[in-house]
């Protein structure tokens, strides 16, 4: 019985870790990272310029910079340099984005 409870508890923790999270932050670029967390107009222009020159988009939240998974990058291209709320799954320092919406 104890073994069944232990397995169930571990399974519950793993399932909770795989659930989507909602995070607020800014879409920046890998070159500048958290430098553009304010999402000012000049920040947005810099992010867009860096992305055009080949830098990868990143998500900045709570002072931490998260890489955006390759299959999620297209979802943020219209929000470069903007504050957003994303729903997605974190895996270390990489986020797989399910949806992105304008933030405040």
String of DSSP letters for 8-67: HHHHHHHHHHTS-EEEEEEEEETTTGGGGTT--HHHHHHHHHHHHTTPPEEEEETTEEEE
Residue 13 has what pLDDT? 46
pTM of the predicted model as reported, rounded to 2 decimal places:
0.79
pLDDT digits (tens, 9 = 90+) for 16-74: 445 679 999 999 999 999 998 899 999 999 999 999 999 999 999 999 999 999 999 99
Give 3-18 pLDDT, tens digit per residue. 554 444 455 444 444 5
Domain-wise residue ranges, the chain: 20-102
């Amino acid at each position: 019985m104890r073994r069944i409870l232990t397995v169930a508890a571990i399974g519950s923790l793993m399932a909770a870790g795989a659930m989507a999270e909602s995070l607020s932050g800014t879409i920046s670029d890998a070159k500048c990272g958290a430098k553009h967390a304010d999402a000012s107009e000049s920040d947005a222009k810099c992010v867009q310029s860096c992305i055009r020159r080949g830098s990868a988009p990143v998500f900045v939240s709570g002072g931490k910079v998260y890489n955006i998974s390759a299959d999620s990058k297209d979802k943020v291209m219209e929000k470069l340099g903007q504050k957003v709320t994303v729903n997605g799954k974190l895996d270390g320092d990489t986020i797989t984005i399910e949806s992105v919406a304008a933030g405040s």
